[in-house]
Amino acid sequence: MTTLTRQDLNFGQVVADVLCEFLEVAVHLILYVREVYPVGIFQKRKKYNVPVQIFTDDIIKAQRNSVICPRPHSPLMSNDSAETSAYMSCHPELNQYIQDTLHCVKPLLEKNDVEKVVVVILDKEHRPVEKFVFEITQPPLLSISSDSLLSHVEQLLRAFILKISVCDAVLDHNPPGCTFTVLVHTREAATRNMEKIQVIKDFPWILADEQDVHMHDPRLIPLKTMTSDILKMQLYVEERAHKSS
Amino acid sequence: MADQFYLENIDEFVTDQNKIVTYKWLSYTLGVHVNQAKQMLYDYVERKRKENSGAQLHVTYLVSGSLLQNGHSCHKVAVVREDELEAVKSKLAVTASIHVYSIQKAMLKDSGPLFNTDYDILKSNLQNCSKFSAIQCAAAVPRAPAESLSSRKFDQSDLPASSETQASELTTNGHGPPASKQVSQQPKGIMGMLVSKAATKPQETNKETKPEAKEITNASSAGGKAPGKANTMSNFFGKAAMNKLKVNLDSEQPVKEEKLVEQPPVSVTEPKLAAPTGLKKSSKKAEPVKTQQKEKKGGKRVELSDDEAKETENMKKKRRRIKLPESDSSEDEVFPDSPETYEAESPSPPPPVFSPPDPLPKELPPIKSSSGESKRKRRRVLKSKTFVDEEGCIVTEKVYESESCTDSEEELKMKTSSVHRPPATAVKKEPREERKGPKKGTAALGRANRQVSITGFFQKK
């Protein structure tokens, strides 16, 4: 089996690209499924051979918090040859926000500095109601043993998308007027690099407030786990026990 | 015997695992005919409803029948939610069939997850996808790749023509005329969509039962290409008279698609058109990548022969036999010189990243087999050759020479080079290791085998 080290940045870039693409789709899908924004602004696009939902062109105010919006290089929105369809937003500001966030996360992913990426849904009082936690682990020595590595990864990511689509069944309804934010939990040294990135990309990141991070009396609902040669990811939802208070 | 447990199985899937259980998925999972699967689902729903247990089930149904719209009679097939079932049924003049399509715990906002569910299970059962199907076609047999390539080109040119005639026949649901324009203008886009939407066709018609405002928004929005196309396809295949489609089906070339056999007849043409595209999509991407790599190899081979002109005839002959790994190694020689072009490739990956899984494996097996042969019989070894040249000087030269060897370490290294890796970076990197491998392999051969692995570790940087 071939083993690579983290030094092989090219491969790290590939993994980061894959992850950022996936996270973009996942964030849009979470916003769609949990009805954070009206469903009318979402549009079906293709990703991983299955339908997903993306925001469409409508006027919506995007909340800009201490979240990172990545902009993956992948032309997700315009890539008609990508297979799966996803519901993605068409609202330019929101898309830009999400893309900028993930764009800043990508360097962290490349260096495997990211512990988890959390999509937090906040209620009107800015207290977290739900947290979709993507725990990401990249093995330090990437061992590639299979020819169909990427199609396998694609399949696994497809399963994630499917699971997010049906998470309604296990989650309570959110109160109206929710907003969202994205938090990134990094390993120690990463924040120093973040400052450099912020300056370059003109998209400020701040340390998250305690109130954004801490959820009172959470309930844990695991959704999906995947293991592959290049990536291990786990998705679970932390839900506040009493949502409308 | 197995039938007795199906209720428990379904219960487990729906309630415990929170899965979407479609009849197609169930038929593959339990290994039963689709009709039986439908019956099972129906039975389960009935029982659960009678029990009045706490768990809420959401059921979708597939309804088909004839519909009178604007004076035209058309056949409609739709996947509808339970709450819309009666409404849709009442619209149909004649209800041809109703059956349970899927059961899930969550209320689905759209048809995407239904397609999602079927996609993977169908993909893994591609070879026998019509095994449990009620639709069989004896003429649908796998086709040779060369045939399917040529027919794909034929189908592409065929599609605009047939779609235009079809579109004119389409009855309204508000999307007819624009749909036809879109269809004729973007045949390739539709072909691409057809591939993935082959199974969603029935679900796409479900959109009609949803608020029309949304559809109009979708159709008119700037980015509304995709749903527009989806609607197009649903109109195209869902609304058009089935008979007409059947006629076209017969007249078109037989397609290498078993998949389509198990779809309802309406969607037969769709996968048929799509299938060559879909199947060949990956191979089409494979081809440019292949040709690129072959060109690269051709170029490098020329370089090699220029650089090492002093090699013996023997070497050249042997080189031909193992030319694939050798040219890989020559590509690899270039690698350190142009790291930047190299990295420029990697940002472009996301589409290529997902498409090359097919091309590269197709390419690597030949490498594997040739290296597999060579590793057993002989091995290229860097050896010093001392000889007297024309001027009478003694010359020592290091050349690669084949040496029969069954060094397991060597085999291991050769193996690693033939393993697939996603981007081209991988292919280039491994040959470098492989090339250095033989060097160090010979050097260390005299010593303990363990040391070879240590040097190998340092080589990998």
Q: Look at residue A176 in the predicted model and tell me its pLDDT.
A: 86
Question: Does B96 have pLDDT greater than 80?
Answer: yes
Q: Which of A11, A52, A146 sits opposite B425 (nearest CB)?
A: A11
C-alpha–C-alpha distance, residues B209 and B78, integer Å: 9
Rounded to an integer, the average pLDDT of B342-353 is: 41
Give CA–CA dist B435/B106, Å, rounded.
56
Residue B118 in this model has a pLDDT that exceeds 70: yes
Residues of B within 8 A of A49 (CB-CB) are 119, 196
The per-residue pLDDT for B339 is 42
pLDDT at B350 over 80: no
Burial class for B365, CB neighbours closer than 10 Å (0-12, 13-18, 19+): middle
- pLDDT score at B401: 61
| The pLDDT value given to residue B60 | 92
User: In the predicted model, is pLDDT for residue A62 greater than 70?
Assistant: no
Q: Residue B128: which pLDDT band, with cuts at 50, 70 and 90?
A: confident
Residue of A nearest to B433 (CA): A2
Residue A110 or B98, more confident: B98
Question: How distant is the Cα of B422 from the closest Cα of chain A, in angstroms?
Answer: 7
For residue B424, pLDDT over 80 is answered with no
The answer on pLDDT for B63 being more than 90 is yes
Are the C-beta atoms of residues B99 and B62 closer than 8 Å to each other?
A: yes
Q: Report the chain A residue with the minimal C-alpha distance to residue B434.
A: A2
* Spatial contact of B65 and B85, defined as CB atoms under 8 Å apart: no
What mean pLDDT is reported for chain B?
Answer: 59
Residue matched to tokens 């007795």: B4
Specify the residue for token string 């407030």: A209
- B412, pLDDT greater than 80: no
The mean pLDDT value for B326-349 works out to 41
Per the DSSP assignment, residues forming a β-bridge with B99 are B62
Round to whole Å and give the CA distance between A200 and A67: 16
Predicted local confidence at residue A196, as pLDDT: 65
Q: What is the mean pLDDT of residues B362-391?
A: 57
The set of residues, in sequence order, having a beta carbon less than 8 Å from that of B285 and lying 6+ positions away, is B352, B355, B356, B358, B359
Query: Which pair of structure tokens corresponds to residue B360?
Result: 């590269």
What is the H or E stretch that residue B450 is in? Answer: helix B449-459
Least Cα separation, residue A73 to chain B (angstroms): 7
- Dist. CA A203–CA A96, nearest whole Å: 11
Beta strands in A103-213 (DSSP E): 114-122, 128-137, 142-144, 179-186
Report the helix count and the strand count for chain B, using DSSP H and E: 21, 6
Q: Which pLDDT band, with edges at 50, 70 and 90, does B377 fall under?
A: low
Helices B112-124 and B23-30 sit at what angle, rounded to 10 degrees? Answer: 30
pLDDT above 70: residue A73:
no
Percent of chain A scored above 70 by pLDDT?
Answer: 69
Q: Which residue has the tokens 């293991």?
A: A227
Q: Over 70: is that where the pLDDT of A31 sits?
A: yes
Residue A102: strand, helix, or coil: helix
Element (H, E) at A203: none
Please indicate whether residue B3 or residue A22 has the higher confidence score (pLDDT): A22
What mean pLDDT comes out for the span B273-297? 42
Sign, CA torsion B411/B415/B418/B423 = negative
The answer to whether B354 contacts A150, with C-beta atoms less than 8 Å apart, is yes
Range with the largest mean pLDDT of A62-76, B13-27, B384-398: B13-27
Among the listed residues A63, A66, A65, the one whose alpha carbon sits nearest the alpha carbon of residue A207: A66
Interface of A with B in 89-118 (CB under 8 A): 90
- A168: nearest CB among B106, B419, B420: B106
Candidate ranges A93-102, B402-411, B422-431; pick with highest mean pLDDT: A93-102
Which of B270, B82, B88 minimizes the C-alpha distance to B190? B270
**Tens of pLDDT along B149-174?**
666 666 555 555 444 444 444 444 44
Q: Predicted confidence band at B268 (pLDDT cuts at 50, 70, 90)?
A: very low
Q: What is the pLDDT of residue B187?
A: 44
ipTM of the complex: 0.73
pLDDT band for B417, please (50, 70, 90 cuts).
very low
What are residue A159's DSSP bridge partners? none
Better-scored residue on pLDDT, B94 or A140 = B94
8 Å CB contact of B421 and A2: yes
**pLDDT number for residue B250:** 46
Lowest average pLDDT, out of A5-9, B338-342, B397-401, goes to B338-342
The Cα–Cα gap between B142 and B89 comes to 38
Contact between A166 and B20 using a beta-carbon 8 Å cutoff: yes
Q: B102-106, B117-121, B294-298: which has the highest mean pLDDT?
A: B102-106
User: Is residue A150 scored above 50 in pLDDT?
Assistant: yes
Question: Whole-prediction pTM value?
Answer: 0.52
Instruction: Name residue B452's amino acid.
Output: V
> Token pair 């993994």 is at which residue?
A15
pLDDT greater than 80 at residue B309:
no
Q: Which helix (H) or strand (E) holds A86?
A: strand A85-89
d(CA B77, CA B277): 25
Contacts of B406 (CB under 8 A, 6+ apart): B375, B376
> Positive or negative CA dihedral for B211, B215, B217, B223?
positive
**Which residues, including other chains, have CB under 8 Å from residue A57's CB and lie 6 or more apart?**
A41, A90, A91, A92, B221, B222, B223
> Is the predicted pLDDT of residue B216 greater than 50, yes or no?
no
Q: Tell me the two tokens of residue B91.
A: 């619209």
Q: Choose between A241 and B36: higher pLDDT.
A: B36
pLDDT given at position B352: 42
Average pLDDT over residues A18-47: 86
Q: How far is Cα A44 from Cα B81, in angstroms, rounded to an integer?
A: 19
* Beta strand segments in B16-57, E: 21-22
Give yes or no for residue B61 having a pLDDT over 90.
yes
| Highest mean pLDDT out of B91-105, B159-173, B179-193, B380-394 | B91-105
Task: Tell me if B173 sits within 8 A of B208, measured CB to CB.
Answer: yes
Task: Give mean pLDDT, residues A109-136.
Answer: 87
Mean pLDDT of A78-99: 69
Nearest CA of chain B to the CA of A127: how many Å?
26
The three-point CA angle B371-B374-B378 to 5° equals 145
Question: Which tens digits make up the pLDDT trace of A211-224?
Answer: 777 777 888 988 88
| Highest-scoring range by mean pLDDT, A108-117, B350-359, B390-399 | A108-117
Phi-psi region of A121 (alpha: psi -120 to 50; beta: other; left: phi over 0): beta
Do residue B192 and residue A155 have CB atoms under 8 angstroms apart? no
pLDDT at B211 over 60: no
Closest to B173 measured CA to CA, from B115, B212, B122: B212
Percent of chain B with pLDDT over 90: 6
Q: Under 8 Å CB-to-CB from B101, ≥6 apart: which residues?
A: B22, B23, B59, B60, B61, B62, B79, B114, B202
| Per-residue pLDDT at B101 | 92
Rounded Cα–Cα distance for residues A224 and A237 (Å): 10
pLDDT at B449 over 60: no
CB contact under 8 Å between A166 and B354, yes or no, is no
Instruction: Specify the pLDDT at position A148.
Output: 61
| CA distance, residue B210 to nearest chain A CA (Å) | 11
Instruction: Pick the range with the lowest mean pLDDT from A102-106, A164-168, B356-360.
Output: B356-360
pLDDT tops 50 at residue B357: no
